[in-house]
Amino acid sequence: MKIYSILGVIFVLAAITMWALWGIGSFQLRRDTESFLERAQVAANAQDMYEYMSQLQKNMEERGMTEGHAALIFRTPENDMSLIYKAIVSINERLLVVRNLPKDDTTYQVALDDLRGTARELNLFAADWFAVSNWMWTRLGSFVTFILGAVLLVKGIM
């Protein structure tokens, strides 16, 4: 009976650890992607915006956020990572042109404002993408581990 209780506690703690790691991994991914997108949205000039967006593109490539979907079941163009990545690349290409325009030119200001608006409307789905790309241990694994631990705890109590 005592062994069931010990195993139950171990499994429940393992599930809690998985949830904590899920949170940490999701935070790190959002830190490396969404934070750069937010910085780009409020950049004072095209050069700064380009640097933030370039870092975002690089981080997305390193994390593998260039393909797949940020949903297991309801896959749409909105959560298609290849389309989101393509939008980031397109913004960077436009910024290369805009940053060479005279800063006091109306074209520069209008283009920069348009790019800010585009970046503002872009949703990276970073937390969703992390959950989908790690669903075996974040969702299924932690759930099964927790249930197994709870069953063992109940068996150990009885």
pLDDT at 149 (0 to 100) = 82
End-to-end CA distance of the chain: 8
Q: How far is CA 153 from CA 17, 34, 138, 148, 156, in A?
A: 17, 40, 22, 9, 5
Domain region containing 133? 2-157
- The total number of structural domains in the chain stands at 1
- CB 19 within 8 Å of CB 71: no
**So what's the pLDDT on residue 125?**
93
At 138 the pLDDT is 67
pLDDT at 119: 94
Q: How far is CA 127 from CA 55, 79, 135, in A?
A: 18, 12, 12
Q: What is the pLDDT of residue 137?
A: 66
At residue 111, the pLDDT reads 94
Q: Which residues of the chain have pLDDT under 70?
A: 1, 135-138, 158
Total-model pTM: 0.81
From residue 8, give the alpha-carbon distance in Å to each of 84, 131, 154: 43, 26, 8
- pLDDT given for residue 43 in this prediction: 92
Q: Residue 144: its pLDDT value, please?
A: 80
